[in-house]
């Protein structure tokens, strides 16, 4: 049996709960309201975005043409300014918009617009620069050995490692028969590349070459005659096909493999200097593309 006071309290609590529930439902309804579509404002915003897109594309193309046909011909080799200057120009993208775009469109731009505009500017500059600086229009890449150097496996070699321009060979005896190999790779004409290679230890010269790759017939013949599976660094495998592509120093069909028989070498540090260059009438913008490197062959005895 329920007394009068208990019944009145329960009724009052139920009324308050119902009112709060009704208020929550009203809030949910108001939060689910869809903002009205304003076609005029949307059309203006799309026009503003289109202006911004074409402006930064034209800006990127203009910078690419200036770098390729005005700045690069005044240089003799690649320089940091070729990428630092265009990237720095991304900072003036908002200012260029303010000067070129009408005020009623410029006022609609947000930080998101500036981010997209800077990204599109950099992409446009990179894309056209790549087209203008590579075959068939031009060639700014010098010939180079695509996989560094390698040594043929031989009796007496216990271990080897190639890292950071240093080839380390560990012998289990006083000396071992060493054969060094590398390749010449180029975008257009690897055979016509000029090769200069010297290998020295103190006053002793083990290799001295200064000729075009196509004229180094003895070196090519030696490389081709060697067992392609006996290079110490092993063979390169395709990322997707998983096929054996050949020695790491020369795995493309267009590469020209070269090898030198260094004879019996003992412990010591051997200095290797390599310079590869090319010069053709159709290269542009530079008369000569040159690649150089100074590497080291370190031979040590383990026992």
User: Of 85, 105, 133, which residue is a domain's last?
Assistant: 133
Average pLDDT, the chain: 89
Predicted confidence at residue 30, as pLDDT, reads: 52
Model pLDDT, residue 38 = 66
Q: Are residues 160 and 249 in the same domain?
A: yes
pLDDT at position 13? 53
CB 273 within 8 A of CB 198: yes
Kindly report each contact of residues 43-52 with a partner whose C-beta sits within 8 Å and lies 24 or more positions away, as own/partner: 44/104, 44/105, 44/108, 45/108, 47/105, 48/101, 48/105, 48/106, 48/108, 48/109, 49/113, 51/101, 51/105, 52/97, 52/101, 52/109, 52/113, 52/116, 52/117
In a domain, 180, yes or no: yes
Q: What is the CA radius of gyration of the chain?
A: 35
pLDDT-derived band at 26 (thresholds 50, 70, 90) equals low
Instruction: Quote the pLDDT of residue 280.
Output: 87
234 sits in the region (left: phi over 0; alpha: psi -120 to 50; else beta) called left
Please check whether residues 197 and 123 belong to one and the same domain.
no
Is residue 164 predicted with pLDDT exceeding 80? yes
The answer on 250 and 176 residing in a single domain is yes
Q: In this structure, is residue 276 part of a structural domain?
A: yes
pLDDT for the residue 11: 56
Does residue 31 form part of some domain?
Answer: no
- Which pLDDT value is given to residue 8? 52
User: What pLDDT digit, counting tens, does each position of 122-152 carry?
Assistant: 999 999 999 999 998 999 999 999 999 999 9
Task: Using alpha carbons, select from 109, 126, 111, 116 the residue that is nearest to residue 60.
Answer: 126
User: Who has greater pLDDT, 239 or 144?
Assistant: 144
Q: Is 145 inside any structural domain?
A: no
DSSP state letters, 26-47? HHHHHHTPPPPP-HHHHHHHHH
* Distance, first Cα to last Cα, the chain: 104
- Taking the C-alpha atoms of residue 154 and residue 33, their distance in angstroms, rounded to an integer, is 80
**pLDDT tens profile 251-296:** 888 999 999 999 999 999 999 999 999 998 888 889 899 999 999 9
Q: What is the pLDDT of residue 18?
A: 47
Q: What residues pair up with 157 in beta bridges, in sequence order?
A: 171
Domain C-terminal end among 72, 101, 133: 133
CB distance 277 to 291 below 8 Å = yes
- CATH classification at residue 297: 2.60.40
For residue 230, with 0-12 CB atoms within 10 Å meaning exposed, 13-18 middle and 19 or more buried, which class applies?
A: middle
Return the pLDDT at 72: 94
Chain centroid to Cα 68, Å, comes to 20
Work out how many domains the chain is built from and give that number: 2
Whether residues 266 and 166 share a domain: the answer is: yes
Q: Is residue 172 in some structural domain?
A: yes
Q: Residue 122: its pLDDT value, please?
A: 96
The phi, psi pair for 271, rounded to 5°, reads -95, 125
22 in a domain, yes or no? no
Residue 52 scores a pLDDT above 90: yes
For the chain, what percent of residues have pLDDT higher than 70? 87
Question: Do both 230 and 189 map to the same domain?
Answer: yes
Give the Cα-Cα-Cα angle 48, 53, 54 (nearest 5 degrees): 105
Query: Is 18 a domain residue?
Result: no
For residues 68 and 201, state if they share a domain. no
In a domain, 3, yes or no: no
pLDDT tens profile 72-106? 999 988 899 999 999 999 999 999 999 999 999 99
Token pair in block for residue 37: 């579509």
55-69, 178-192, 273-287: which range is least confident on average?
A: 273-287
| Domain around 51 | 39-133
Cα-flanking dihedrals φ and ψ of residue 159, to 5°? -160, 160
Nearest to 167 by CA among 151, 183, 153: 151
Contact 176, 153 (CB under 8 A): no
Q: Which two tokens stand for residue 240?
A: 């997707």
């Amino acid at each position: 049996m329920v007394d009068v006071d208990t019944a009145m309290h329960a009724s009052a609590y139920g009324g308050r709960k119902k009112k709060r529930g009704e208020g929550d439902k009203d809030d949910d309804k108001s939060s689910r309201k869809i903002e009205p579509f304003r076609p005029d404002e949307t059309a203006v915003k799309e026009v503003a975005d289109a202006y911004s897109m074409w402006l930064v594309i034209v800006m990127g193309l203009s910078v690419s043409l200036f770098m390729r046909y005005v700045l690069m011909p005044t240089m003799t080799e690649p320089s940091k300014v070729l990428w630092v200057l265009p990237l720095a120009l991304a900072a003036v993208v908002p200012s260029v918009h303010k000067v070129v775009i009408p005020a009623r469109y410029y006022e609609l731009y947000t930080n998101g617009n500036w981010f997209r505009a800077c990204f599109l500017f950099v992409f446009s500059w990179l894309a056209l620069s790549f087209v203008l600086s590579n075959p068939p229009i031009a060639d700014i890449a010098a010939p180079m050995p695509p996989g560094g150097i390698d040594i043929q496996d031989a009796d007496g070699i216990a271990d080897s490692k190639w890292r950071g321009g240093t080839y380390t060979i560990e012998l289990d005896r006083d000396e071992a028969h060493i054969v060094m190999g590398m390749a010449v790779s180029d975008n257009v004409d690897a055979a016509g590349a000029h090769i200069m290679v010297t290998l020295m230890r103190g006053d002793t010269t083990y290799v001295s070459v200064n000729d075009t790759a196509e004229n180094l017939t003895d070196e090519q013949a030696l490389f081709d005659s060697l067992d392609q599976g006996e290079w110490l660094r092993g063979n390169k495998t395709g990322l997707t096909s998983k096929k054996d592509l050949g020695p790491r120093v020369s795995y493309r069909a267009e590469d020209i493999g070269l090898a030198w028989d260094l004879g019996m070498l003992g412990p010591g540090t051997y200095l290797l200097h390599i310079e590869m260059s090319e010069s053709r009438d159709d290269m542009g913008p530079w008369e000569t593309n040159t690649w150089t490197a100074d590497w080291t062959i370190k031979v040590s005895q383990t026992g």
